[in-house]
């Protein structure tokens, strides 16, 4: 019998979970495991807002894949997949090379959904990868520096106004983090923080719809305390290089729009002929298998896994991607060696939103967390993820994170001092 090859495409939350479960269970089986990813590192997408705002270094949120696979029998291929040839069971890379598979797990994540808003795709920045976070941060610094040399007052205002589109979890985290780091950046560029504006614009009346109303209200209060101007129930109608136009007629001069209003599946699946549902997410059965082929599983943000209880697709979250990765791994093992099959049932374990170092809210089951307990919980979730990638060795390799958790846990009171926005403008 020829050696079977299982390929995991995508080293995100879902793909790595699946790969590590397969590596553990298939250690002595002779099955070849291959991980294909477009970068040679895994990135903590859930923390991109930190380097984007400038409060954390990029090293803080990435792990070289070599460190993860080094002690496991896994072949690492750094390549971008252009197409999946389902019929001939092979991946076709952008450089024209090909890789055949016997079993394939696809976890290529999501891309921004622009909802056809004119100018959004052309002019907005997005928060989807480490490179996006770097670009956002450099753009912010460039705008602050440019604001000192532009000729007109309108241009100066546009350079010093930052708009975050969308007030879901990602949007509020970005707005909160940015509001906290801007005073420091302003000092660097000799700018009065009172001249800088941060807007968070949301099309529907509520923010953070996955959170209960009282937690969402606490977030709104914290954003306002930091000087963020929260506009809800007003869609963005147009984005240009110098302003945004809102549905209520307001025009906000800005050269920086960070769009976090929604995601759709990576279009690799649709392009490769997979049956897809809403927002391009690939259809799968309860075992995460694609109807396109019994040898292909699709997991995470790019899969449309329907919750049998509600009949609705599970939310595109990291913990759903992780659970789906485990289900796909169990089912591949069952395909190869027999045994029972697993099914995905989404469980809402909770979520935490951190708005800078000074504030966080979250829930775990029915327990709500606000302030320091939520901040500690957020850090612990990230450390648990690092642990799952490589145990104590991986945690020790990332000691600054451990120290950061201890610092957050022991901090006496929030270090935040409002420096921007209305509080500052009114002289408070």
Ligand X SMILES: Cc1cc2nc3c(=O)[nH]c(=O)nc-3n(C[C@H](O)[C@H](O)[C@H](O)COP(=O)(O)OP(=O)(O)OC[C@H]3O[C@@H](n4cnc5c(N)ncnc54)[C@H](O)[C@@H]3O)c2cc1C
Closest to ligand X by CB, 256 vs 317, is: 317
Q: How many angstroms separate the CA atoms of 261 and 140, rounded?
A: 20
Minimum CB distance to ligand X, residue 390 (Å) = 17
Q: How many angstroms separate the CA atoms of 356 and 308, rounded?
A: 37
Minimum CB distance to ligand X, residue 137 (Å) = 13
Residues that bind ligand X (CB under 6 A): 10-15, 36-39, 45-46, 48-49, 80-81, 107-109, 127-128, 169-170, 266, 268, 300-301, 316-319, 321, 351
φ, ψ (nearest 5 deg) of residue 313:
-65, 140
**Residue whose C-alpha is closest to residue 260's, from 178, 202, 314:** 202
Q: How many angstroms separate the CA atoms of 401 and 88, rounded?
A: 44
Minimum CB distance to ligand X, residue 300 (Å) = 2
Closest to ligand X by CB, 37 vs 157, is: 37
**Residue whose C-alpha is closest to residue 261's, from 209, 215, 334:** 209
**Residue whose C-alpha is closest to residue 110's, from 258, 297, 327, 299:** 299
**Cα dihedral angle (120, 156, 150, 147), rounded to 10 degrees?**
-90
Minimum CB distance to ligand X, residue 145 (Å) = 25
**Residue whose C-alpha is closest to residue 99's, from 16, 9, 14, 18:** 9
Closest to ligand X by CB, 92 vs 402, is: 92
Q: How many angstroms separate the CA atoms of 175 and 305, rounded?
A: 30
Closest to ligand X by CB, 39 vs 425, is: 39
Closest to ligand X by CB, 29 vs 55, is: 55
Q: How many angstroms separate the CA atoms of 141 and 159, rounded?
A: 10
Where would I find the H helices in 309-427? 318-337, 372-397, 399-410, 422-425
Compute and round to an integer the Cα radius of gyration of the chain: 22
Closest to ligand X by CB, 191 vs 265, is: 265
Closest to ligand X by CB, 236 vs 361, is: 361
Closest to ligand X by CB, 12 vs 54, is: 12
Minimum CB distance to ligand X, residue 158 (Å) = 25
Minimum CB distance to ligand X, residue 341 (Å) = 21
Contacts of 174 by beta carbon, 8 Å cutoff, 6+ apart: 49, 52, 53, 127, 164, 258, 260
φ, ψ (nearest 5 deg) of residue 271:
-60, -30
Minimum CB distance to ligand X, residue 140 (Å) = 16
Minimum CB distance to ligand X, residue 110 (Å) = 6
Closest to ligand X by CB, 110 vs 147, is: 110
Please check whether residue 369 is in contact with residue 62, taking contact to mean a CB–CB distance below 8 angstroms. Answer: no
Minimum CB distance to ligand X, residue 249 (Å) = 30
Closest to ligand X by CB, 46 vs 181, is: 46
Widest pairwise Cα distance in the chain = 78
Minimum CB distance to ligand X, residue 176 (Å) = 12
């Amino acid at each position: 019998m020829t050696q079977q090859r299982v390929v995991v495409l995508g080293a995100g939350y879902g793909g790595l979970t699946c790969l590590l479960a397969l590596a553990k269970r298939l250690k002595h089986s002779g099955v070849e495991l291959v991980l294909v990813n477009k970068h040679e590192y895994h990135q903590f997408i859930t923390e991109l807002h930190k380097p984007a705002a400038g409060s954390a270094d990029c090293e803080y949120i990435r792990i070289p894949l070599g460190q993860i696979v080094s002690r496991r029998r896994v072949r690492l291929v750094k390549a971008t997949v252009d197409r999946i040839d389902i019929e001939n069971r092979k991946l076709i890379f952008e450089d024209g090379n090909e890789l055949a598979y016997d079993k394939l797990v696809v976890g290529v994540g999501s891309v921004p959904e622009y909802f056809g808003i004119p100018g959004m795709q052309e002019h907005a920045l997005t928060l989807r990868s480490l490179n996006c976070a770097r670009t956002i941060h450099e753009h912010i610094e460039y705008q602050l520096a440019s604001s000192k040399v532009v000729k007109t007052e309108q241009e100066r205002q546009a350079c010093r106004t930052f708009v975050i589109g969308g007030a879901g979890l990602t949007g509020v985290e970005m707005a909160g983090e940015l509001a906290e780091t801007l005073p420091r950046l302003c000092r660097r560029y000799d700018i009065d923080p009172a001249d800088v504006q941060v807007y968070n614009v949301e099309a529907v009346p509520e923010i953070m719809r996955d959170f209960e109303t009282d937690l969402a209200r606490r977030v709104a209060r914290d954003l306002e305390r930091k000087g963020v101007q929260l506009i809800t129930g007003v869609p963005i109608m147009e984005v240009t290089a110098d302003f945004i136009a809102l549905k209520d007629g307001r025009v906000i001069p800005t050269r920086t729009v960070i769009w976090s209003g929604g995601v759709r599946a990576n279009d690799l699946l649709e392009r490769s002929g997979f049956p897809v549902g809403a927002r391009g997410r690939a259809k799968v059965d309860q075992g995460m298998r694609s109807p396109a082929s019994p040898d292909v599983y699709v997991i995470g943000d790019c899969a449309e896994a329907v919750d049998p209880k509600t009949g609705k697709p599970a939310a595109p979250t990291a913990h759903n991607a992780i659970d789906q990765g485990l289900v796909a791994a169990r089912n591949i093992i069952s395909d190869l060696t027999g045994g029972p099959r697993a099914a995905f049932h989404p469980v809402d374990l909770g979520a935490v939103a951190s708005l800078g170092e000074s504030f966080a809210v979250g829930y775990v089951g029915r327990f709500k967390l606000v302030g320091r307990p939520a901040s500690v919980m957020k850090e612990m979730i990230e450390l648990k993820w690092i642990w799952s990638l490589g145990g104590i060795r991986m945690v020790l390799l990332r000691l600054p994170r451990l120290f950061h958790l201890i610092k957050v846990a022991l901090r006496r009171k929030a270090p935040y001092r409002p420096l921007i926005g209305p509080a500052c403008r009114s002289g408070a």
